[in-house]
Each structure stands twice: as C-alpha cells, then as structure tokens.
Chains A and B, each alone.
Chain A
Amino acid sequence: MNRRVVITGAGVVGSIGTGVDEFWRHCLQAKSVVAPIPANWEHYAALHSRVWSPLPDIDPEYLGVARTERLQLDPGSVLAIGAAREAFERAGFSLVPDAKNSRVFTLAGVDAARIGVYLGTGIGGAYSFLHNHTHHLSQRARATLKAYAETRAPAQDRETLDGVLALMAHGPRYHPFVVSMLMPNASSAAVAIKFSLTGPNVTYCVACASGTVAVGNAYRAVRDGCVDVAVSGGCEYLNDEHGHIFRGFDIAGTLVRNCADPEAANRPFDEQRSGFLFSQGGAAVLVLEDLEHAQRRGATIMAELIGFAETFDAHSMMSLAPGGEQIERVLRTALADAGVGVHEVDYINAHGTGTKNNDETEAEIIDRVFGKSVRVNSTKSLVGHTIGASGAIEILVTALSLRDQTTHICRNLDAPLRDLNFVRAVEQFDLRVALSQSFAFGGHNAAVVLRRFS
C-alpha cells in the first residue's frame, strides 16, 4: 500500500510565537528573541555563552492543560499537548470532552485506534530529573547547614554561609510523579492520553534529529497504511533552575560565543558565526493524514509529504563526519523515496545551527548535491536551537513556505560562508518541492521531502 500523505493541521510553540499564525508571521518578519541568560546560572559556573532565546509567557488557554495536569507533567510534555491541541483544531477535528473527565478529549468521527502518535525529544524530561535531583541532593544538607548557620556559626561566617545556602536552593518537594515526568516517552504518552488516541505510540530520541525522524516515521506509517492519521512532531524543554543543561552545551563549545551584541550573536552560515543560540524549548506538532481520509473529511491541506530517509555517520558522537558522505546519502535517498530529482528541489530548510563545523559541512554538501540555485535558509537563525523540537519546527516552516509560496530570510547573514542562494528577502517564488534536513549528536542524519499540494 502506498498512500499519499498530507499535512492537514499544525500547532507550534516557540520563542518567537505561540500558535501557527503568530509564529509564521514573526518568521516572515525575521523576528528573533535573544536575551541574557538567567543571572543565577553564572553563580554555578564560568560560562562562555551569555545569551539564550527564552519562551514567552504562554497562555494556559492555548495549552489547554489544567493545573492538576501540569503538576504531573514535565514542561516539555505540556508544550507538546498545547501544540497537538492546536494541530487537531486546525485539522478540523472536533474535540469532544470525555463524559467522565472533561480534561480528556476524544476526536469526533474518527477511529482512535487508527491514529498514531510519533513524537521526538532530545532530552525527554531532563528538567524534571534535574529539579528533583537538586532537591534529593540538597534538601537535608541545606537544612543541616541552615540550622548550624542560625544557631552555632560564628558571626563572621554568616555571610559566607548564607551565600552557600542560596546556592543550595531547591524546589519544595521531591515529586511523587517524577518517574513518569522524566521518562522520554512521557510526551507522546501525554498527548495520546489527553486526546484518547489508541494507535501506535512512539517517542524518538535522536538528539537534534528527533523531530525530523518522528515526522518521517509517521509519514511512513500513514503511507504504508498502518494508521490513517499520525500526530507527529517534536518537543523540548531545555530550561532548569541552575543552568545545568545550558552548561552541558556550553562546555562542549557548541553555543554562541560572541554575545556582546545579542541581536547579532546568532548567525548561521555567516563567516562570523560562533555557535548556536540555545533556546528555552518549544514544540511543533503536525497532523499527517492519508489523502483520501483527509478529502472525505473536507480537510484543508497545507502540503504533501513525499519522502523520508535516515542514515548514520558511525564516526563521532559530536562531530559531523568530514566530507559528509552519509549526509549526501540521506539527501539522495530521501529524494529517491520521493521520486524527485535534485534539480526539482526549489528550497532547502537547512539544519543551519550556526556552529563552525555544521554550517561548513552542510553548505559544502548542498553546493555539491544541489548547486547554487536552490534557495536555502535556517529557521534556527530566528528561533535558536530547540534540539528535539527543531526538526518538527523546520518541517512546519517548510510546509508553510510551500503553502504560501514564500519563506523567511536567513537572519544575520552578512558574509555567507559559501556562494549559495541563501534567502535574503521575503518574496514570492514558485515553490513546488522542498526539503528539510537535520543532523544530530551521535551521528544521525534525517531528511524529509515535501511538495506543494495539488
């Protein structure tokens, strides 16, 4: 069985916007949110990068997640539920509150067993792990030290002890739901519980390629007839109270270094790039659907998914293999899966992190495989890097670009590292076939091919 697979709905939460309309409008306006990292993070370590891309205050109504639900979920899962809810509504599904529990919905008129959930995350519930780990490690030690400071410590030591006590700050409890909050599969489980979906339920944990791999496998599941509808995408929450996660990427030398001018710090594919902009997180969820199923429902189609491939470098945990042989293979295999030639590709939404190594290798491969005419941009130049959500966000941007026959610029690109057709202005163009690609720590490569729907 080889069915046509179309995107009928989408939802997104990112640093530059909540909801597809706002997010896309801000993409086309080249909006980016860059702010200093929380001041207390620098009390724990000497950090090289000093900026990040924080999420906005998100309207609880958008998320549709009650306080009692949020208490039991990692923030990454909450973002996924919010994006999934928007995606279902945009796809035209009627969400009917369950008779016994009005916080749980069923989708009217569709077979829940034929709807699968395929989500990606790079670090799962790391926030929940770290939040509770800090409590586990510090709570008793801090209480003991505090009692000493208040009763027996010499007066001249009090200021020092108060400083140490402040560093040992922790949350109010060791959470009884911590296991189900931190497990990486919690996000796809949470989405399926919220919307009563009983089809296959899988979480892909493939670092920065997680979202792309999730959407790609969801595409295959619909194409091959395993499900009629697939809820697919990625989510990530990279914040924590003490900057642990940020420090991990910072010490690896992957984050932007030139932070004196925050607005100019994030510059994928530019000669002056110095690393990627760390994002607080985000989520993008797409509703993929069998074309005939979508047409029977009268759904509006955003774009068509036509190809997917994955390869693995088998070279290094943290560096792309020189020459990019497996990246070239993933692109050619995805195009073969789609049945299109390299010269038919009009636009590439690149991985485009802004690291020296990634951008140089990626640009070289694009030049070698596609030449200089294909349009190229990096959504990370606006949003920063959301790790496991990034691939899904970029597939969404690619689908919206196909729908509207335009796309966003590659921000802060003053001196391109290579002579490619980087998008420098928002303008209409004939966009029929597009490609979105992701490369991940570990050595995972993935690419998805999309086509304008007609």
Chain B
Amino acid sequence: MNNDVQQRVLKAIAEVLERKETEIRLDASLRDDLAFDSLKQMTLFILLEDEFQRTITPDEVMGVVTVKDIIGFIDRKLQEPAPT
C-alpha cells in the first residue's frame, strides 16, 4: 500500500468528517464506524477526484467498505493513465 496515497486519503476523510487524521483507523467501515451517509460519501469521492486527478464513477466504488478499501482503490486508479 502506497504510504503517500494512504496519507492523502486519510487527510480527505478527516476533512469531510472534521476529525483528526489520527482518529481514522484503516479497518474502519465508512458507514458503520465513521457514520458516512451517501452525501458525505459523494463529497469524499469528489475530493479524491480533485486530489488524485482521476474520474471516479459511482459504480466503481460500490464495493468500497473500509478506509483500506479506498486506499487500495485509489492505488489501482493511479495505475490508469491520467486524463488529458
């Protein structure tokens, strides 16, 4: 797992939740542990689109459950060519 990606994802999650990055556990469930509702989830993925300059469609993140899942997802997205 890319440490730089992990830090940037944690920072985005902390920004949406208004919490400290150190309070976000990697195995935390977005919905059950971090109380993400659908609007917060959309906000997070927009932030991540801006942060990593990749397009994220709702279908792509259907299976994302934990913080670690997001980091893995972004890792994979970064293997794709950047949009021009």
Contact = CB atoms under 8 A, between A and B. Distances in A.
B37 to A, nearest CB: 13
A190 to B, nearest CB: 14
A68 B49 contact: no
Contacts of B83: 172
Interface string A86-108: 00000000000000011100000
A39 B7 CA distance: 39
A146 B81 CA distance: 15
Q: Chain B CB within 10 Å — which of A66, A102, A146, A173 has the most?
A: A173
Interface string A173-195: 10111000000000000000000
B interface: dominant SS: helix
Interface string B5-24: 00000000001101000000
Given A68-B43, A71-B43, A176-B42, A103 B18 contact: yes
Interface string B40-52: 0011001101100
A67 interface: yes
A204 to B, nearest CB: 28
User: Which range holds the interface residue count of chain A?
Assistant: 10 to 19
B13 to A, nearest CB: 11
Contacts of A134: none
A333 interface: no
Interface string B54-74: 010010000000000000000
A128 B33 CA distance: 33
Given A101-B18, A103-B18, A68 B55 contact: no
A interface: dominant SS: loop
User: Which range holds the interface residue count of chain B?
Assistant: 10 to 19
Contacts of A172: 49-50, 53, 55, 83
B18 A67 contact: no
A172 B84 CA distance: 10
Interface string A203-230: 0000000000000000000000000000
B72 to A, nearest CB: 22
Contacts of B15: 66-68
A177 B46 CA distance: 10
A35 to B, nearest CB: 28
A65 to B, nearest CB: 13
**Considering the complex of A and B, which 10 residue pairs feature the smallest CB-CB distances, nearest first?**
A176-B42, A71-B46, A68-B43, A68-B16, A102-B18, A68-B15, A71-B43, A173-B49, A172-B49, A173-B55
Interface of B: 15-16, 18, 42-43, 46-47, 49-50, 53, 55, 58, 83-84
